[in-house]
Amino acid sequence: MKKTIAAITLLASLCANIFADGKPSWYTEEVLVSEMEIRRKNSEGVYADFIDRTFSACAHVRVTDEIQSLEEARAKAEKAASEKLDSYFKDHKENDALKGKHELYSWSYDYSLENGGAYVQVQVVVKKEKPKVTSAALSTDSKKNLSENSNIGSRIISYDSERMTLVDKINFASEEALESHKVSLTTKEDENGNKISKYSKTKQAFYYPDGVLIHDTTYNLTDTLFQFNLKNTVKGRKTLIVIRIDTLYDNDEIVLSYKGQDYKSKIDKDTKNRWRNIVFEIEEGTISEYNPQFFIRESKSKQVIGSIFVYQLL
């Protein structure tokens, strides 16, 4: 807290310092990015270290015959600085959710005739928090690497060059988890009213390709629709839903559905190292509820589904 107060005091001091040419000492044509380590509660209510990133941009506009007031000039300068930030986010592939999330931090008016007439200068900022990554983070920059990695469930993973945080997990061995995630099964019947769906729940122990033996509880499904809700998710954030599966059976893909949109993940059969993690990428802006409902589509081929892990870009 003392570091934060000191930083704000220093920045305020800089904003008040005007050079002879009328520009504050913090003024620059470039977008500035600064980082400060903070500590707060994460999605699980546990205090954790985060990095507070601040993006700031400056702009100035002179009062002319077309711009006849300082207030109008300030608004135009704020708009110019905000557009500079948006351009930076696009060029550097920053999170699209940052676009348009600007805050006017400070501005100053200069009336000096020596500087060619009155003009205003503004600074706008955007703040973003990201989890502080430790050496224990799972680095897996491709879908194949994540699929074959037995360390799924790590608190932080690196995926597609982005740091993602574990926000939810469904362990089928826990009745509390099944109830809180509203896990349910929907069966089918043929035209004669005979049930054609099959399902069961068993404990399994298989190897991953990296040679690690993992114990898990699975649902074994044939022609059965599997439904579950997520918890602790942030609406609109990019999300990875990772499901542990047994690759022994002759189903070549699993289909996950959200609000009528299907997401497909291919399966490579392996009768020796049978565990895999199938990955579904839910793009930013897709999830519109805090507890979204997903379905695993029924298949005539047997599907063996284990624990579900949910990561988000925070």
Residues 6+ apart with CB under 8 A from 304: 204, 218, 219, 220, 221, 245, 246, 248, 249
pLDDT surpassing 60 at residue 244: yes
pLDDT at 80 over 60: yes
Which has the closest alpha carbon to 303: 225, 227, 229, 246? 246
Tell me the β-bridge partners of 189. 195
pLDDT at 27: 80
Share of the chain above pLDDT 70, in %: 82
* pLDDT (average), residues 255-270: 92
The structural domains of the chain, with segments of one domain joined by +, span 2-131, 138-312
Q: What is the DSSP letter of 125?
A: E
Q: State mean pLDDT over 235-260.
A: 92
Q: What is the DSSP string of 63-82?
A: --SSS-SHHHHHHHHHHHHH
Strands ordered across the beta sheet of 119-131: 32-41, 47-62, 119-131, 103-110
* Range ranked top by mean pLDDT from 44-48, 120-124, 243-247, 267-271: 243-247
Q: Which CATH superfamily is domain 138-312 in?
A: Galactose-binding domain-like (2.60.120.260)
State the chain's mean pLDDT as an integer.
82
Which of 100, 107, 103 has the alpha carbon at shortest distance from 125?
A: 103
CA distance linking residue 133 with residue 159, whole number of Å: 13
Distance CA 257, CA 184 (A): 15
Question: What is the arithmetic mean of pLDDT over 221-242?
Answer: 94
Residues in the chain: 314
Residue 198's SS3 state is strand
Average pLDDT for 235-263: 92
Mean pLDDT of 196-204: 93
Each residue's pLDDT tens digit, 41-71: 666 666 677 778 888 989 888 777 677 778 8
**Mean predicted confidence (pLDDT) in 170-177:** 95
pLDDT at 132: 64
Q: What is the pLDDT of residues 124-165, one digit of tens each?
A: 888 877 766 554 445 555 677 889 888 898 888 888 878 889
**Closest Cα to residue 281, out of 303, 258, 250?**
258
Residue 154 CA: distances (Å) to CA of 91, 134, 168, 203, 223: 31, 11, 11, 22, 32
Least confident of 99-103, 156-160, 182-186, 236-240: 99-103
Q: How many CB atoms lie within 10 A of CB 101?
A: 16
| DSSP symbols for 164-181 | EEEEEEE-TT-HHHHHHT
Rounded CA separation 298/275 (Å): 20
DSSP letter (8 states) at residue 24: B
Q: What is the DSSP string of 263-311?
A: EEEE----SSS-EEEEEEEE-TT---SSS-EEEEPP-SS-EEEEEEEEE
158, 311 in Cβ contact below 8 A? no
